[in-house]
Structure 1
């Protein structure tokens, strides 16, 4: 076990126990009429669950740095730990505000005016404990919904994009995009199949996948190859690699094993009927006209940077209509939108929208906005379009809340919006 991980584990364990003690004491006003046996039983159950989950998680993560990395079990333990932690923090915040008020009252109340039976601080009222439980129940229920249902609640996002220089033959051309499958996280094959069926039901002209087929190792996708092989489009199925596909987040026994894993993943793309694009381009022809589809390897700020747009553009004419597949939207932010070649549309993923947030017609927020300029949906700058898919799968936290898994359908139109 690495020294840094040990230090973090000890800090997390200490903080968690202190939080548990504080929270449990917040229940006490509601337990006055309980028998001593009942109170002890609740105490054992409460600390048994919280400490048990924390210990199981920390023990399981000691081996998560080697292939196959974090398994479904690891992610469920982490998700339950996060759910309990956030629930306890919300509960504790309500108590903290009340304790601050109690302290102010204690400091401003004369000794002779104190109510009999109270010590330095006024007694905590049952109403406060009930309010804390009510407040904590909201994240507790929401996170369980996210884990049990939200992560497979696929949504279709449809957009019509207008371009003056789109070849007439491609007016009305449709693209279905899926990104960030993260097959190593799946725990419900039937639910995954519903998502695949929904993508196929869009009957688009072209299907594209924009990276992160797996979490760490190529074998994760093997139980699902026959399912994703069902995705078909008249103009083909094309894919690229994402940062997780290179196997960088686990420690391999040697470089040869890591390279073999990546080559196996290339084979799996072919087995699914996906044309994997590695810094290259292809022309899609229709009625004597063509557009250029370009695919790059991963290039991301703070992540692996092996994609080369210049190499991918070789042979593409200046006036060609260009669609680029690039996993990380920071590639568009830092390179594509400033590149001499005018790339009309870039399709990305990577962010997952943090798998948590709020999206309405008038308001959109996710904590991932503090990391990425463009984290979900459409961005247009000087005629260059970027679309960031929210992801088909999930990673680490085995759930989605507010930012649901996405299937994107884009229709290309010639001209300007009416």
Structure 2
């Protein structure tokens, strides 16, 4: 017998949406009193709500299919645009409630302009922003870097989430940008897929183009373990993970599972280690001590660890210094602003470090903003990232 679905949350959402839209409609009526506006407006809102509820109800059997994505994105874009509209309308109404005046039509027009602009920005983020790849370069100085590795370059990407891709030409542009960096080493820091190993299959010929003189190395992220969907059996879930590991090999990536490799250049070496996913709230699978077993405290060590909370809670406190940790996971929430000296995203309220470089006591962390996207099929202000890090010996 099928489990009954609790409709109360949907009713609450519908009520709140009704109240928000009633207020928005009052703002529209300030600009126009055409009688056709009201029925057209509520017909549109009813369609959006009905599509959202329908898509959620059928998600159990159909997953997050195209109907679900269209309905949820339409609802999200409309809701955010309306909240922006209200944000500018409420202060005006409070002022006039106190003074006894009426709404200033120019202020309402400005709020309407921001409403339209918000929708346009979201549409750009959905159509173009999610493939607007950026190369971000960092030069980091280390006292303990072997001299022969001075100038050594690493290209990092993270969070591919191959199951979300729909535009082969755009993805190829990203791959070409990675190849154009001609770095000494390439690393991928987890979340190759959303849930299932098969998601990467259409994209193997793309990501297998990436080559570097010192190799291509990868780790697993929290989504790679298949924890977020229902499996017929534990055996099926384990087989999926094993298949994903095989796909890493087909991509030409050496998957590091709580282990390390030694990279040599002119008789000197650095350590590259990789751990399974370790993250607060996302499974603490990785074994850092195992990954670094056999290394010395004096070795220059770089670590691939998907979740940056690992660095905060374990890596930076380790007696045997890990000079550089490369992570991803946060996506910068795919929404925020990084311009004009500002750096903000809602994800900052979850992660102390959510993008770019952090440094404590000579121990560096880089959080890549992600190559792909998940959930919201777009990016606004936080663009997909290809990181290039140049290692420099201090004093040279």
TM-score range, shorter chain: over 0.9
| 1:46 equivalenced with 2:41 (yes/no) | yes
| 1:22 equivalenced with 2:23 (yes/no) | yes
* Larger mean Cα displacement after TM superposition, 398-407 or 327-336: 398-407
Q: Distance in 1 between matches of 2:341 and 2:296?
A: 40
Q: Distance in 1 between matches of 2:107 and 2:286?
A: 56
- 1:281 is paired with a residue whose SS is strand
Q: Distance in 2 between matches of 1:372 and 1:366?
A: 10
How large is the Cα RMSD of the aligned pairs?
2.1
- 2:278 is paired with a residue whose SS is coil
CA separation of 1:11 and 1:322: change in aligned 2, threshold 3 A: same
Q: Number of residue pairs matched?
A: 395
Q: Distance in 1 between matches of 2:58 and 2:227?
A: 16
| 1:370 equivalenced with 2:353 (yes/no) | no
CA separation of 1:408 and 1:136: change in aligned 2, threshold 3 A: same
State the 1:128 CA deviation: 4.5
TM-score (norm 2): 0.93
* Aligned residue number for residue 10 of structure 1: 11
Q: Distance in 2 between matches of 1:58 and 1:307?
A: 39
* Aligned residue number for residue 81 of structure 2: 87
CA separation of 1:2 and 1:22: change in aligned 2, threshold 3 A: farther
- Any gaps of 5 or more consecutive residues in structure 1? 107-121
CA separation of 1:147 and 1:332: change in aligned 2, threshold 3 A: same
State the 1:77 CA deviation: 3.1
CA separation of 1:62 and 1:396: change in aligned 2, threshold 3 A: same
* Aligned residue number for residue 103 of structure 1: 97
- 2:293 is paired with a residue whose SS is coil
Q: Which has the larger radius of gyration?
A: 1
| 1:170 equivalenced with 2:164 (yes/no) | no
- 1:271 is paired with a residue whose SS is helix
- 2:306 is paired with a residue whose SS is coil
* Aligned residue number for residue 163 of structure 2: 184
Cα contact 1:78–1:396 (8 A) shared by 2: no
Q: Distance in 2 between matches of 1:89 and 1:377?
A: 30
State the 1:227 CA deviation: 0.6
Q: Distance in 2 between matches of 1:45 and 1:189?
A: 38
State the 1:303 CA deviation: 1.0
CA separation of 1:335 and 1:347: change in aligned 2, threshold 3 A: same
State the 1:205 CA deviation: 0.8
Q: 2:374 aligns with which of 382, 386, 395?
A: 395
State the 1:138 CA deviation: 2.6
State the 1:313 CA deviation: 1.0
Map 1:9-158 to 2 at 5 A. Answer: 9-32=10-33, 34=34, 36=35, 39=36, 42-64=37-59, 69-71=63-65, 73-106=67-100, 124=103, 126-158=105-137
Q: Distance in 2 between matches of 1:221 and 1:71?
A: 17
- 2:283 is paired with a residue whose SS is coil
* Aligned residue number for residue 114 of structure 1: none
State the 1:393 CA deviation: 0.9
CA separation of 1:44 and 1:238: change in aligned 2, threshold 3 A: farther
Cα contact 1:72–1:186 (8 A) shared by 2: no
Map 1:310-321 to 2 at 5 A. Answer: 310-321=289-300
Q: Distance in 2 between matches of 1:142 and 1:102?
A: 31
Q: 1:258 aligns with which of 200, 214, 237?
A: 237
Q: Distance in 1 between matches of 2:373 and 2:225?
A: 18
TM-score (norm 1): 0.89
CA separation of 1:251 and 1:289: change in aligned 2, threshold 3 A: same
State the 1:342 CA deviation: 0.7
Cα contact 2:296–2:320 (8 A) shared by 1: no
1:155-176 Cα offsets, whole Å, 9 max, x none, are 1011111112211221111100
CA separation of 1:179 and 1:144: change in aligned 2, threshold 3 A: same
- Any gaps of 5 or more consecutive residues in structure 2? none
